[in-house]
Amino acid sequence: MSLSRMLSSATLLAAVALVSVAVTGAADAENAVEIQLSYKDRKFDPAEIGAPANTPIAIKLRNLDAGAMEFESKTLHVEKVVAAGGDATINVRAQKPGRYEFFDEYNEKTARGALVVK
Ligand SMILES: [Cu+2]
């Protein structure tokens, strides 16, 4: 196979791989368990949320404060800025049982919480 042909099949393979990741992501989001979470006075309410193991999770976050916040979790590998008064969905992959801490990166001292997966 010529180099240019090899390159174009590699590009095609990469494109196919990207499409299948996107499709899997969408299917996961549809089967996700939804958890409501509020952010108020620079704190999460409730501070602890729960979800079943091995199930994709959609955290429906509502920021009731007058400033933006940034939901972040190192163990869940998510990070999302939510505007003042705004809503966001944080999609989390299926997780093994455990405690996964999260925080607001703009107010790390007060705004801490955990997702407990059982
Ligand atoms: Cu961040």
Task: Give 31's pLDDT tier (boundaries 50, 70, 90).
Answer: confident
Comparing CA positions, the residue from 30, 74, 38, 78 lying closest to residue 55 is 30
Give the global pTM.
Answer: 0.76
Residues 82-100 pLDDT 10s = 999 999 999 999 999 999 9
8 CA to centre of ligand 1 in angstroms:
36
Rounded to whole angstroms, how far apart are CA atoms 83 and 85? 6
70 CA to centre of ligand 1 in angstroms:
6
Q: What is the pLDDT of residue 20?
A: 47
49 CA to centre of ligand 1 in angstroms:
21
Q: Which residues of 82-113 are buried (b: 16+ CB within 10 A; e: fewer)?
A: beeeeebebebebbeeeebebbbeebeeebeb
103 CA to centre of ligand 1 in angstroms:
10
